Structure 1
């Protein structure tokens, strides 16, 4: 599988976006779980609410907000392209796409695999088998830019939404006002520091993992630090 190391060759390479550089956020804690407000753009289904509750249990507020922005950016990119993903699948996938980075799910496999496995287990156990496999597939593949070309829109736009929020890929395809609204609603406070810290653990402890290989080839951590966002 081609992972983030292909980013430099992919059409979703990082674009500078000066308007985002000056966004400032209110203070929020790095640790401790907390819910975030629901708005009209976010799916309101039993599976979505169950996924939100579970994410709030295992992740901190900074990660929860990253997952929300991932969905909103992915949704916006899909709308712009005229794609019609199943928004429930896309949302639950976005909420769970970084589960494998949480210490509670630590294991020898790549974090993408760990997260996909836990997402499928949770959804199946709660009676949401209809979306479990597709969500797991999207999580497993989300760090590969090639996944943006996947024929399954829930898979493709999870990848695009995540890369948009992590390294700024495809920001130039979105309206500045939308970007600022999303960041204002779900502040980035500490996102870069949190993702770099969690990914560094993966890189240091799993040198053969996809993310470690990507780091050695194109400097994932540096790209995150240089993303066109504040925080």
Structure 2
């Protein structure tokens, strides 16, 4: 399978509004662990999940610590699953990926939704800026830091799909976790193992509530693309896909 087809199959653009084809056709339900929040990994992470090794470099470990401290458990687990699903996608396509950069971008991709880093800019930009400051403080080379910035800033945009693997796979991993994976790309057994390792913790409800709270507090950062605004005002019967429908119909119990 070609790289672009693989990335697209996992819904790299799902979060940007192009969710109609996949979001409304839910895959068979995937069993969901009901583990309590006390079972959420703290500090050190599993070494390997679904054949994917977690990155344990010093800077990756510090990024994990930052994400855990800033994020509620459901959001941190989503970030970890995003890395695993993104890495599984890259593995399935035989892509050459810098897993350290992919991991850092994935584990920090939603920190712009947290109380510590939320602000008036879109949450993706808030998160990318926070990650950039963190990486600068830890001495990561600017060219590598730029990859992480792009991966976070573009993870909910169709633009990221056309960038290098470390960037595109952040969106692919997030899309797989939010609206559901393509089981022709990621094995269902691997999906189940990922969810067992990092329980969803009522992710659907908690994620939507968190995003709604951010929009209420910082409406300017929630502005959409101008084409959608024009469509809603001037195009009769314009009904673009809505991410809320895709989240509800994702092949997970929670």
TM-score under structure 2 length normalisation:
0.79
- Specify the structure having the higher radius of gyration (Cα): 2
- Counting only pairs closer than 5 Å after superposition, residues 1-231 of structure 1 correspond to structure 2 as 4-8=16-20, 13-14=22-23, 15-20=25-30, 22-28=31-37, 34-35=42-43, 37-40=45-48, 41-130=53-142, 131-150=144-163, 152-207=164-219, 209=221, 217-231=240-254
Distance 1:171 1:111, change over 3 A: farther
Q: Deviations over 1:67-110 (max 9, x none)?
A: 11000000000111111111000000001000110022121110
Greater relative contact order, per chain length (Cα 8 Å cut-off, separation 6+): 2
CA contact (8 A) 1:199 1:211 kept: no
Distance 1:211 1:198, change over 3 A: farther
CA distance in 2: counterparts of 1:129 and 1:194, whole angstroms: 35
RMSD (Å), alpha carbons: 2.6
CA distance in 1: counterparts of 2:119 and 2:146, whole angstroms: 21
TM-score under structure 1 length normalisation:
0.86
The alpha-carbon deviation at position 212 of structure 1 amounts to 5.3
CA distance in 2: counterparts of 1:201 and 1:35, whole angstroms: 28
CA distance in 2: counterparts of 1:198 and 1:129, whole angstroms: 33
The alpha-carbon deviation at position 115 of structure 1 amounts to 0.3
The alpha-carbon deviation at position 24 of structure 1 amounts to 3.4
Q: How many residues align?
A: 223
CA distance in 1: counterparts of 2:41 and 2:197, whole angstroms: 17
CA contact (8 A) 1:17 1:172 kept: no
Unaligned ranges ≥5, structure 1: none
CA contact (8 A) 1:147 1:155 kept: yes
CA distance in 1: counterparts of 2:18 and 2:159, whole angstroms: 8
Q: Deviations over 1:184-213 (max 9, x none)?
A: 111111211221012112334455545756
Unaligned ranges ≥5, structure 2: 1-12, 233-239
CA contact (8 A) 2:102 2:169 kept: yes
